[in-house]
Amino acid sequence: MASYLVGRAFQTVLSMLVVVSIVFVLTRLSGNPIYLLLDVNATQRDQEILTRHLGLDKPLPVQYGIYVMNVAVGDFGNSIISRRPVTEHIWERLPATVELGFVAMFLSVLIGVPLGMYSAVRRGGVLDTAARVFAVLGQSMPTFWLGLMLILFFGVVLGVLPAGGRGGLLHLVLPAFTLGYFTSAAILRLTRSAMLEVLGSDYIKFARLKGLHEQVVLWKHGLRNALLPVVTFAVLLFVQFLGGAVVTETVFAWPGLGRLILESITTRDYPVVQAGVLVLSALYLTGNLCVDLLYSYLNPRIRHVSS
């Protein structure tokens, strides 16, 4: 187990290095930031001075080497645009991002799990279809569209919720719902199949034979056992929301990490893009690793239960 753990951890670090490299190459290919830092009328000399100042005059492999070495000791460099440490920018955006991601995940589970349960219990029935159509509807329109509709309806027509920006708890409702509704269909599917699997298992049959109340069977024995994959999925979903909410953040003027990276792409602020993507994929890879370890730890028991 220990050697497996070390091996996997090592592989994860290696994966991050690959991620760094991919992003490094991609961003360098996408154009030079100095054109956006200077006026179009700037002279050749201004360009050279700035290029040297930013260290962009060195050959790419050298720049890459410097970058990797700095990252290894935790130095992500300075933003090209603001000249402030990249970590400062990322920390600045993290609270908004975590807040939104957490509430969105919560809403997603809140919609997805009950509907998934229902859909499993009433498999093939009208309610099953209705529940699934409701969840799938959230996945059937682009989030920017859903977001704008919600803003217009709740923000402008009804005037009950803020139309955009970050502020109190109310500001969270619309963006979190937009994001959470979209993924609730996935939660529903997962809950549904997990429930179906659990409900078909021997111990549920046994519990029913014992004459336990159906609701107790469902909620206590059924859901509890179906919950593990749902929870792990929700955790990964949360990690994905941290950077994957670009569109929601743009539509709702939410100052999150995704928008920071998106805007840094348009200004070719390499260090911010690199660090941002690295942080996101590191979170994902670590989350993944934890899930794997958890499963391998729980596996014998689960195998025992299901067979």
Partner 1 sequence: MNRSFAIALALLTAWFSLLAAPSSVAAKPEGTLTVAVATFGNERWLPHLYVGAEDVVLKPMYENLLTRDPKTGELAPMLAERWQVLDGGRTWRFHIRKGVRFHNGAELTAEDVRFTFASIAKEGSANSLAPEFRAIKSMEVENPHTLTVHFDKPFVVFGNKVNQGLFASCAFIQSKRHIEAAGEQGAERQPIGTGPWKFVEHVRGDRIVYEAVENHWRATPHWKRLVFSKVPEPATRMAMLRAGSVDVIEIGGEYVDELKKVNVRTIVMPNVSWVYIILGGQWPTKATYDPKVPWAQPDAERARKVRLALNLAVDKQAIMQRVLGGLGTVLGSWLAYPADPWASETLKKPFPYEPAKAKQLLAEAGYPNGFEVTMNLTAWPGRGYLPDVGEAVATYWERVGIKVKRRPVDRAVFSADFRARAYSGVTLAYASPLVAPEMWEVLYRGAYTKASLNLFMEHPRLDEFIDRLAVQPNYQERVRIMRDEMGPFLHDYIPGVAIGAAHAIAGVGPKVGEWPLIAGHMGFHNWEYVTRK
Partner 2 sequence: MSPRRRRLPWFAGLVLAALVVAAVFAPYLAPHSPTEGDLIKKSIPPIWMEGGNPEHPLGTDRFGRDVLSRIIWGSRISLVVSLVAIGVAGTLGTLLGLVSGYRGGRTDAVLMRLTDIGLSLPTILIAVVMVAVSEPSFRNVVLVIALLLWPRFARQVRGETLAIKEHDFVALAVVAGRSSAWIIRRHIFPNVVPTLLVISTLQVGYVILLEGTLSFLGVGVPPPNPAWGLMIADGRGFLATAWWMSLFPGLAMLLTVLAVNLMGDWLRDHLDPRLRQVGPQVELLGPAVTQPESTPARGIAAASGEP
26 is an interface residue for partner 2 by CB under 8 A:
yes
* DSSP state for residue 2 in the 8-state scheme: H
Which tokens belong to 94?
């993290």
Note whether 127 and 200 are within 8 A (CB): no
Q: How far is the CB of 132 from partner 1 (least distance, A)?
A: 30
Of 48 and 214, the one with the shorter C-beta distance to partner 1 is 48
Distance CA 217, CA 207 (A): 7
Q: How far is the CB of 174 from partner 2 (least distance, A)?
A: 15
Distance CA 81, CA 134 (A): 44
Of 26 and 38, the one with the shorter C-beta distance to partner 2 is 26
Of 35 and 203, the one with the shorter C-beta distance to partner 1 is 35
Of 132 and 221, the one with the shorter C-beta distance to partner 2 is 132
Q: Of partner 2, partner 1, none, which one does residue 83 interact with (CB within 5 to 8 Å by kind)?
A: partner 1
**Cα(first)–Cα(last) distance of the chain, in Å?**
24
Note the residues at the interface with partner 1 (CB under 8 A).
30-33, 35-47, 49-50, 53, 81-84, 89, 92, 144, 148, 151-152, 155-156, 159, 162-166, 250-253, 255, 259-260, 263, 266-268
218 is an interface residue for partner 2 by CB under 8 A:
no
201 is an interface residue for partner 2 by CB under 8 A:
yes
Distance CA 249, CA 23 (A): 22
Tokens 């217009």 correspond to what residue? 152
136 is an interface residue for partner 2 by CB under 8 A:
yes
Note whether 107 and 172 are within 8 A (CB): no
Q: How far is the CB of 61 from partner 1 (least distance, A)?
A: 22
Angle at which helices 86-121 and 257-266 cross, to 10°: 120
Q: Of partner 2, partner 1, none, which one does residue 290 interact with (CB within 5 to 8 Å by kind)?
A: none
Distance CA 281, CA 239 (A): 9
Of 5 and 149, the one with the shorter C-beta distance to partner 1 is 149
67 is an interface residue for partner 2 by CB under 8 A:
no
Which tokens belong to 19?
């991620």
> What is the rounded (10 degree) CA torsion for 13, 16, 18, 21?
-130
Q: How far is the CB of 59 from partner 1 (least distance, A)?
A: 19
137 is an interface residue for partner 2 by CB under 8 A:
yes
Which tokens belong to 163?
């139309």
* Chain residues 265-284 in contact with partner 2, contact rule CB under 8 A: 265, 273, 276-277, 280-282, 284
Q: Of partner 2, partner 1, none, which one does residue 189 interact with (CB within 5 to 8 Å by kind)?
A: partner 2
Supply angle C-alpha 244, 245, 251, rounded to 5: 150
